[in-house]
Amino acid sequence: MADPTQTSLALPPFSTPPPKYEVFLSFRGFDTRKGFTDNLYKALIHHGIHTFMDAEQLESGEPVSTELFKATKESQISVIILSTNYATSTWCLNELITMVEPAENDESRLILPVFYGVTPAEARKQIGVHFEEGFAQHKKDFEGEPGEVARWKKSLTAIANLSGYDIRNYRNETMVIEKIVERIFGVLINTFSNDLKDFVGMDRVNKIKSNMSRIGTEEVRVIGICGMPGIGKSTIAKALSQRIRNQFDAFSFISKVGEISRKKSLFHIKEQLCDHLLNKQVTTKNVDDVICKRLCNKRVLIVLDNVEEFEQIDAVAGKDGAELSSRFGKGSKIIITTAYERLLINYNPKIYTIEKLTQDESLLLFCRKAFKKDHPMDGYQKLCYEFLDYADGLPLALEVFGNSLLNRSVEDWSSRLASLKDDNYSGKNKIFNYLKASFDGLENQEQREIFLDIACFFKGEDACRVEKIFESCGYYPGININILCEKYLVSIVGGKLWMHNLLQQMGREVVRGESKREGERSRLWLHTDAINVLKGNKGTDDVQGIFLSLPHPDKVHLKKDPFSNMDNLRLLKIYNVEFSGCLEYLSDELSFLEWHKYPLKSLPSSFEPDKLVELNLSESEIEQLWEEMERPLEKLLILNLSDCQKLIKIPDFDKVPNLEQLILKGCTSLFEVPDIINLRSLTNFILSGCSKLEKLPEIGEDMKQLRKLHLDGTAIEELPTSIKHLSGLTLLNLRDCKNLLSLPDVLCASLRSLQVLSLSGCSNLDKLPENFESLEYVICNLTSLQILNVSGCSNLNELPENLGSLECLQVLDASGTATSQT
């Protein structure tokens, strides 16, 4: 036998076969058969609930058949539809007795009355026209058997006193049926485990069950139920196994497989398996032989819950699909719940990923825990939804919060919510400890560091952009982010990095746990913590990242350089804070530097930015980045100096050879840029609002990747003919270039990818390109053009007649031109 002291919830094999029927329907045929009862029956069958619905083949008044009596006896739940003519049928009344009388001494039997066209009071007292006429006739027909009539009346009274469903209380019959099915399903899975008494999410179970039915009946298959920690994988596996276990010769559910393996051994898993499936005690020597020889002809259902390592599957199912098929009989199914679906790859598995609960499902589960009802109590509705927002569809959190709020006042709820937001709620520890097990189980420290960086700084950011920052930090983000996704700790949605709110908070809690002193923690994201460390010069070389963003602009004077002790600082963002005072040092480890309103004229001379991937000094006092740059910044991809109104000089372009984005918007003192630009990776070049810039640099042949060029609001007079090298350009913005006199004649021949051309406000554009008869001819050869804006081009006298040849053109704005006035 298995060790009785083990901590896992291991369900023994059922000593008796499950009931033949789960639900028995009792009804009056001509009242409800072709309507309500038939719809209820179909709904029950659809949800996989084995239901008996008598065809009512016998004439009314005949004794209840042996088959029918057996069906009522073997059904776990009876649904009695009390309609207007139910009590006129002795057949129905005899059925009623066979259900009610055994239930008086058997609490496991459940009876659900449905009052259809009659009220509970009428059934209880047998009043109303139909009951009174029916029983008047029964007294006559059974004049010599008064005891029989009394039994019927007693049974009706007992039924009417039960909690049931009064059709009058629902908007429509569909709603009643949904409630009945949900109640029955909940009762059925409750017989399997108390953990399921408040189960929510029947659709998920039914979807898996339905898809499993499409798998070949003889096929031995692994079914993976995967998802993030706390999402309800174990609960769904329990509910699913309850629905299908009667299709198998034997059944084993082994919970906390990973924990058993870590704290005891793999043998304990095999031992439980043999105990459940064979009722056989085994030893370490013969266990594998027993599994392979004794189970190969048995059709078994096995659930391995919370698997963490491949060896735990291998111990039961073998190393691959071939071994799996040889170990268990035809049609066997192995259900595995895990947060790491890659563990199943050897078995050709069918994977089901469990998503978080919907808002309606979350409310239902929360209310069942917090109120023991399916809906909020009066006065608690708003508070309920605030807790729901915090839990964000995670069943574990909903249950923990709901249980802690049971039988508490509105004031207590409000206090608990406030403490939750202030990170003082003790109930969060239970959630975080559960989630942290997956974090602790990561393969290496690098994966943990990446997870913590995302949790503290990069949730919601572009995945490709962040990966490049991680690469500069010395990480290998490709494989490691994939593993984090496979373990449901991180996801990529729409190209952006995401994680569940509670996973994010768990990660931040890990960082808080590094030290009681903020300056000795690896990451600072709360502005209160960050400003305290910087103002007090409390930073140490433990600090790897600081994101300081104040809710309102503020000025802070520094007596000492706060960064002088942070030699390992990799990530720094400062926003809405104007520092003054001592600032002389920046860590050479910086891969990401975003400092709005940087106060100095240049970056520190001692700073060696070899690892920088992004540099953003928007709205700063900077005049030039460095006085001298000894070697190229090979890793710099994004340079953003927007609205640096004192900037007069930018680095030579050959010093930033791999730049992808160059943003110089609003640099009003910048009057020149290097003569040549030939950045093969540049995709976005913005010079908007550089009002003193009169000349665009010559464009090299390698600039084919540039997609967007913004020159609006500059003082340029012409475009260089080398613009022909921008064959990949899709947007050219020349709005309000009032000094622009002409367009080069290479424009239409070379920029065949151009989709957006804005010439709005180019009021002096009157010199036509050489070799062309008109500006209109130039435009009409831009065959990919979708948006053309020539508004405010006052010298444009007419639009081309052949604009129709621009098949892609969707928007044309010619307002404010001479053509709009003719």
Q: How far are the Cα atoms of 349, 615, 660 from residue 635, in angstroms, in the given order?
A: 42, 11, 10
Q: How far are the Cα atoms of 257, 451, 486, 566, 614 from residue 475, in angstroms, in the given order?
A: 32, 12, 18, 20, 16
**Mean pLDDT lowest among 567-571, 580-584, 742-746:** 742-746
- Domain-embedded: residue 473: yes
Whether residue 770 is predicted with pLDDT greater than 60 in this model: the reply is no
Whether residue 15 is predicted with pLDDT greater than 50 in this model: the reply is no
- Rounded distance between C-alpha atoms, residue 309 and residue 164, angstroms: 47
Catalytic residue IDs: 95
Whether residue 67 is predicted with pLDDT greater than 70 in this model: the reply is no
User: Tens digits of per-residue pLDDT, 613-656?
Assistant: 999 999 999 999 887 777 899 999 999 999 999 999 898 888 99
C-alpha angle with apex 307: 305 to 313, nearest 5 degrees? 100
Whether residue 448 is predicted with pLDDT greater than 50 in this model: the reply is yes
- 207 and 280 inside one domain: yes
What is the number of structural domains in the chain? 4
- Rounded distance between C-alpha atoms, residue 61 and residue 99, angstroms: 18
Tokens of 232: 């309800």
Q: What was the pLDDT predicted at 639? A: 96
The listed range with the strongest mean pLDDT (96-110, 145-159, 720-734, 772-786) is 720-734
Per-chain mean pLDDT for the chain: 85
- Domain-embedded: residue 127: yes
- Rounded distance between C-alpha atoms, residue 299 and residue 322, angstroms: 16
- 348 and 365 inside one domain: no
> Starting at the edge strand that comes first in sequence, how are the strands of the sheet with 300-307 ordered?
10-11, 250-254, 300-307, 333-338, 221-226, 350-353
Residue 532 Cα to chain centre, angstroms: 35
- Domain-embedded: residue 403: yes
Q: What was the pLDDT predicted at 13? A: 31
- Rounded distance between C-alpha atoms, residue 266 and residue 272, angstroms: 10
Q: What was the pLDDT predicted at 456? A: 96
Bridge partner residues of 10 (DSSP): 254
- Rounded distance between C-alpha atoms, residue 820 and residue 822, angstroms: 6
Q: What was the pLDDT predicted at 711? A: 96
- 183 and 203 inside one domain: no
- 203 and 131 inside one domain: no
- 478 and 446 inside one domain: yes
- 349 and 374 inside one domain: no
Range of the domain at 321: 196-353
Find the mean pLDDT for residues 98-102: 85
Whether residue 820 is predicted with pLDDT greater than 90 in this model: the reply is no
Neighbours of 417 (CB within 10 A): 17
H-helix or E-strand spanning residue 353? strand 350-353
- 484 and 502 inside one domain: yes
CATH label of the domain that carries residue 29: 3.40.50.10140
Q: What was the pLDDT predicted at 805? A: 63
Whether residue 476 is predicted with pLDDT greater than 90 in this model: the reply is yes
CATH label of the domain that carries residue 253: 3.40.50.300
- At residue 769, φ and ψ (nearest 5 deg) are -60, 145
Q: Which of 512, 534, 557 is a domain's end point?
A: 512
Neighbours of 276 (CB within 10 A): 22
Name residue, tokens 């192995």.
334
- 27 and 154 inside one domain: yes
- Confidence grade of residue 60 (pLDDT, cut at 50, 70, 90): very low
Q: What was the pLDDT predicted at 797? A: 67
- Confidence grade of residue 581 (pLDDT, cut at 50, 70, 90): confident
- At residue 476, φ and ψ (nearest 5 deg) are -115, 80
Q: What was the pLDDT predicted at 287? A: 83
- Domain-embedded: residue 348: yes
Q: What are the DSSP calls for 521-570, one per residue?
A: SSEE-SHHHHHHHHHTT---TT--EEEEEEEEEEEEEESS-TTTT-TT--
Half-sphere exposure of 667 (CA within 13 A, CB side): 27
pTM for the whole thing?
Answer: 0.69
Q: Following CA atoms 42, 48, 49, 55 in sequence, which dihedral angle do they give, to the nearest 10 degrees?
A: 40
- Domain-embedded: residue 715: no
- Confidence grade of residue 562 (pLDDT, cut at 50, 70, 90): very high
User: Tens digits of per-residue pLDDT, 688-724?
Assistant: 999 999 999 999 999 999 999 999 999 998 899 999 9
For the stretch 637-643, contacts whose Cβ atoms lie closer than 8 Å and that sit 24 or more positions apart, written own/partner, are: 637/468, 637/613, 637/661, 637/681, 638/465, 638/613, 638/614, 638/663, 639/615, 639/663, 640/614, 640/615, 640/616, 641/617, 641/667, 642/618, 642/666, 642/667, 642/686, 643/618, 643/619, 643/667
- Confidence grade of residue 800 (pLDDT, cut at 50, 70, 90): low
Q: What was the pLDDT predicted at 815? A: 82
- Rounded distance between C-alpha atoms, residue 598 and residue 115, angstroms: 75
- 233 and 335 inside one domain: yes
User: Tens digits of per-residue pLDDT, 745-767?
Assistant: 777 778 888 999 998 988 887 64
Instruction: Give the per-residue SS3 of 450-469.
Output: HHHHHHHHHCCCEHHHHHHH
Report the percentage of the chain scoring pLDDT > 70.
89
Bridge partner residues of 693 (DSSP): none
Q: What was the pLDDT predicted at 6? A: 27
Whether residue 136 is predicted with pLDDT greater than 70 in this model: the reply is yes
Report the percentage of the chain scoring pLDDT > 90.
46
Whether residue 452 is predicted with pLDDT greater than 80 in this model: the reply is yes
- Domain-embedded: residue 223: yes
- 232 and 246 inside one domain: yes
Q: What are the DSSP calls for 459-518, one per residue?
A: TTSBHHHHHHHHHHTT--HHHHHHHHHHTTS-EEETTEEE--HHHHHHHHHHHHTT-SSG
- 206 and 66 inside one domain: no
Candidates 229, 252, 335, 260; CA nearest to 298 is 252
- Confidence grade of residue 187 (pLDDT, cut at 50, 70, 90): confident
- Confidence grade of residue 141 (pLDDT, cut at 50, 70, 90): confident
- 183 and 308 inside one domain: no
- Confidence grade of residue 7 (pLDDT, cut at 50, 70, 90): very low
Neighbours of 169 (CB within 10 A): 9
Q: What was the pLDDT predicted at 233? A: 92
